[in-house]
Amino acid sequence: MKQDTYISDSKSKLSKFNELFSSLKAHFFLAIFLTGLACCLTMHVLIFNDYEERAVAVRISEMQTQLRLLSNRLIKYNYLQDTDDPVINAEIDYLSNFNNGRVIIINDDLNVIKDTYEISNGKFIVSEETVNCLKTGTRGTFSKFDKKYGAIELVVPIVETKNAEGEDVTYEDDTEVVRGAILLCISMDPIRRSLTKLSRRIAVYEGVIIFTIICIAYMLAQKLMKPFDKITTDINEVKAGYTEDSIEVPTLTEARHIAIAFNSLLRRMKVLDDSRQEFVSNVSHELRTPITSMKVLADSLLSMGEDAPIEMYRDFMEDIGKEVDRENQIIGDLLTLVKMDKKSPELDIKSVKIENLIEGVLKRIKPIAMQRDIELIFESRRTVTAEVDEVKISQVITNLVENGVKYNKDGGSVKVILDADHQFFTVKVMDTGVGIPEDSLEHVFERFYRVDKSRSREIGGTGLGLAIARSAVLMHRGTIEVDSKLGEGTTFTVKIPLIIATEK
């Protein structure tokens, strides 16, 4: 039991951790922080390298000056011939000790005459730099910075200058004679020490900068994500049912798009909810009407008692029977609509000869039309075979022709015209009936909408016929339109593709 609690606890911690790190806020924070850190580190490396290069260059230049001065003094005191001069030796030792380095002096035979480490005295040094230095004189000055061993190496020629009279001078404009070279190798330690100090100081500044970046990144992430948090809170309130109002639209573009999209979704849902409520109340009303009539008829019969004549019983029972039929028809129509409203309604597509289909419909309606002396005319301008659901298309034509008869004048006519092009077939149902007022035209396809409620009920209408017809046409990806002139007649035009393009 304890182990279960532990497992679920650690799972919830893990999911919280995951949620935190997959949040846009964390990503944004990390992006700013890492960019800042990368900039800091790059600056650090660049400053460090630049400082090192400059420090080495300054040191080399200082040492070259000192070695040139020493070279002049070596010539002046004839050190290359007599290495026992205590003043010069002291100067050389001082130069070596003060710079924590090694000084080697060689003569023009590449022979070491002085080594402050006293290792190479009397030996020959044949390196590229020294040979080059002896050959080229002042131009042979050589310096090298060995990063790996932390040392600077310098080679400076010992130059004797003679004027035209052959006197020894130290001015550069006279003839140069290279008498030897001074080799100096000094340690980088002082530079390294100041570099370490600099590095520490930079690290402190970096710490301050990184802390500032963290604060700025956190504040920016909070500020930018605030509108999204607000949207989430608002949406949750709508979801919980505390409010149905549109949510506040923030100024941040991305958040504004989400809020606008959500508000339009909310409006759509409200419209759907309203129409659902209206539909339910319409259904209740429509279903209750025949029941109320039956109750009234039954109560009247009961109140009359046994004295009521048998003809009256028969009349009343016939009326009750009609009301039952009406109730039945409403329920049937409602079921048809519900089936068509399904998200993926099924169509039983077959190749159908539309002429035959229309003729069949007209044949069925003819007896009713004849009762009121209404003529049914069929005009087929083209033979049409289409891929359709026969039952549904037949229901569409039946509803339209029945309406043409129902809302017609005695002795009028209903004309059905069938035509087609290479893509669609068209069925026009034209009647010479009462017509539909202009302001009702856009509503006739709505469920339970009737222009004249009492007349429609009287003639057995449910107010669902055109809604069913429209649904069936839309299922075939077709269109249905109505045109009417009050008192003159109405024309319904149905246009349906010969072949329904099936979605992949």
Nearest to residue 154, comparing CAs of 124, 200, 188?
A: 188
Task: Check binding of 140 to ligand ADP (CB under 6 A).
Answer: no
Q: Near ligand ADP by CB under 6 A, which window of 19-27, 140-148, 161-169, 459-467?
A: 459-467
C-beta of 442: minimal distance to ligand ADP in Å?
11
Strands 151-162, 168-169: pairing is antiparallel
Which residues neighbour 164 within 8 Å (Cβ) at sequence distance 6 or greater? 174
Task: Report how far residue 363's alpha carbon sits from residue 147's, in angstroms, rounded to the nearest whole number.
Answer: 108
Q: Give the count of beta carbons closer than 10 Å to the beta carbon of residue 95.
A: 20
State the minimum distance, in angstroms, from the CB of residue 411 to ligand ADP.
16
**Distance from the Cα of residue 159 to its chain's centroid:** 76
Question: Could you tell me if 107 and 101 are in contact, meaning their C-beta atoms sit under 8 angstroms apart?
Answer: no
Give the angle 294-296-299 at the CA atoms, nearest 5°: 105
Q: Which of 104, 490, 495, 496 binds ligand ADP (CB under 6 A)?
A: 490
13 φ, ψ to 5°?
-65, -40
> Judged by CB, which is closer to ligand ADP: 63, or 405?
405
- Contact between 180 and ligand ADP by CB under 6 A: the answer reads no
Nearest partner of 83 among 68, 108, 110, 105, judged by Cα: 105
Contact residue for ligand ADP among 249, 336, 450, 493 (CB under 6 A): 450
Query: Which residues, numbered 374-433, are part of the site for ligand ADP (CB under 6 A)?
Result: 399, 403-404, 407, 431, 433
Amino acid identity for residue 215 in this structure = C
CA atoms of 223 and 104, how far apart (whole Å):
68
Task: From 116-124, 184-192, 337-345, 465-473, give the range in contact with ligand ADP by CB under 6 A.
Answer: 465-473
Comparison of 230 and 450: residue with beta carbon closer to ligand ADP: 450
Interface with ligand ADP includes 462 (CB under 6 A)? Answer: yes
Among 449, 483, 498, 500, binds ligand ADP (CB under 6 A): 449
User: Least distance from C-beta 504 to ligand ADP, angstroms?
Assistant: 35
Could you say whether residue 451 binds ligand ADP (CB under 6 A)?
yes
Q: Phi/psi at 31 (nearest 5 deg)?
A: -60, -50
DSSP string, 54-92: HHHHHHHHHHHHHHHHHHHHHHHTTTTT-TT-HHHHHHH
C-alpha distance from residue 95 to each of 49, 55, 71, 117, 191 (Å): 28, 19, 12, 13, 17
Write out the binding residues for ligand ADP, residues 257-296 only, by CB under 6 A. Answer: none
Cα–Cα distances in Å, from 65 out to 99, 145, 155, 182?
14, 17, 12, 12
**Between residues 388 and 434, which has the closer beta carbon with respect to ligand ADP?**
434
Burial of 209 (0-12, 13-18, 19+ CB in 10 A): middle
Binding ligand ADP by CB under 6 A: which of 180, 463, 480, 494?
463
Q: Could you tell me the smallest distance in angstroms from the CB atom of residue 24 to ligand ADP? A: 51
Residues 337-366, one symbol each (x = binds ligand ADP by CB under 6 A, - = not), give ------------------------------
Q: Nearer Cβ to ligand ADP, position 73 or 457? A: 457
Among 188, 365, 393, 436, binds ligand ADP (CB under 6 A): 436
Least separation in angstroms between CB 489 and ligand ADP: 8
CB of 294 to ligand ADP, least distance (A): 20
Size of the site for ligand ADP (CB under 6 A): 23
Query: Which amino acid does the sequence have at 265?
Result: L
Q: Tell me whether residue 319 or residue 452 sits nearer to ligand ADP (CB atom).
A: 452
Any contact of residue 157 with ligand ADP (CB under 6 A)? no
Residues forming contacts to ligand ADP in the complex (CB under 6 A) are 399, 403-404, 407, 431, 433-436, 444, 449-452, 456, 461-467, 490
